Amino acid sequence: MSVELGAFLRSRRERMAPADAGLPVTGRRRTPGLRREELALLAGISATWLTYLEQGRDVRPSRQVLDALARALRLTDAEQEHLRRLAGGTAAPEEDLAEQVTPEVAAVPALLGDNPAYVTGVCYDILACNAAAAELLPGVGPGGNLVRWMLTEPAARDVLVDWEPEARHILARLRAIAGRHSGHPRVARLVAELTAASPEAREWWPQYDIQFSHAGHKRLRHPRLGVITVPHAAFQVAERPDQTLVVYQLPADAGSGRGPAPHRPGVSA
């Protein structure tokens, strides 16, 4: 976890302009963003301690140090939460990521009728979905992966009217997951696959943007309804917090007219 913490701190230090931190800019700078010594001064910690953190050494920063770094780097709430998780968390064991969805949870998407719904696992594998989701997101179904679909399938760019910000957001959420499960083979394989297959993923991944799931609205191109703006919400499964139920609310008069029966879930690959 310390290696991921160091990478995150470096990315945020290099992103911050000295002028934004109230520091004078004199002459040419070979280092992008803040120098280590400058960030250490702003945070009130020693430059040596900051160097240890960025190098990924096995040190444990206190909550006070983390808060001071967060203030100096002007981290968002999501980034602050990610920083604390990196500093205090541990990688999940293999069995925790070998996901199975319980029959009770798997049955929920089908209960939501014409509203697209699906259950994702820790790496955005689709563990269960209903027919409305399969209609809206062609190629997404049990055994598929939502991030892979969004970044590598041409259909995603047609369905998601605002494809680039949506793709950036889901990659930022995967970045947060990779931090919590640093070094885990399944997470690492997915990241390697995405950065090999998607030019956008190769460009965006090193930027280290962080985001967590939240409710909101999306503009989607529905095969029967055309372009619509729909609210969506995400709910963590109580006994398995890395599994998430996502629901899109279609217009009340959307109707069905699909025909296929809801997907019956199984174990993801």
- CATH (domain of 52): 1.10.260.40
Q: What percent of the chain is modeled with pLDDT above 90?
A: 41
Tell me the β-bridge partners of 117: 247
- Within a domain: residue 268? no
> Does 239 lie in the same domain as 134?
yes
> Does 80 lie in the same domain as 208?
no
- Within a domain: residue 73? yes
Supply φ then ψ for residue 236, to 5 degrees.
-75, 140
* Domain stop point among 34, 68, 88: 88
Question: What are 127-130's contacts with CB under 8 Å, separation 24+?
Answer: 127/99, 127/101, 127/243, 127/265, 127/268, 128/101, 128/263, 128/265, 129/263, 129/265, 130/262, 130/263
- Within a domain: residue 182? yes
pLDDT at 5 over 60: yes
Write the pLDDT tens digit of every residue in 81-106: 888 888 875 444 444 444 678 899 99
- Within a domain: residue 264? no
Instruction: Give me Rg for the CA atoms of the chain.
Output: 21
| Residue showing tokens 């009130």 | 44
CATH number at residue 179: 3.30.450.180
What is the pTM assigned to this prediction? 0.67
> Does 127 lie in the same domain as 76?
no
140 — pLDDT class (breaks 50, 70, 90): confident
> Does 102 lie in the same domain as 64?
no
Entry field: residues in the chain: 269
> Does 111 lie in the same domain as 20?
no
> Does 211 lie in the same domain as 103?
yes
Tell me the β-bridge partners of 230: 218
pLDDT given at position 93:
44
- Within a domain: residue 269? no
- Within a domain: residue 254? no
> Does 145 lie in the same domain as 79?
no
- Within a domain: residue 146? yes
> Does 225 lie in the same domain as 168?
yes
> Does 82 lie in the same domain as 46?
yes
Q: CB of 16 within 8 A of CB of 74?
A: yes
pLDDT at 32 over 70: yes
> Does 225 lie in the same domain as 161?
yes
Question: What are 60-68's contacts with CB under 8 Å, separation 24+?
Answer: 60/87, 61/87, 68/43, 68/44
Q: Count of alpha carbons within 13 Å of 232, Cβ hemisphere only?
A: 19
User: Residue 7: which domain range?
Assistant: 2-88
Distance (Å, whole) CA 79 – CA 35: 20
> Does 185 lie in the same domain as 103?
yes
Count of the separate structural domains present in the chain? 2
**How big is the CA angle at 233 (ends 82 and 138), to the nearest 5 degrees?**
105
- Within a domain: residue 48? yes
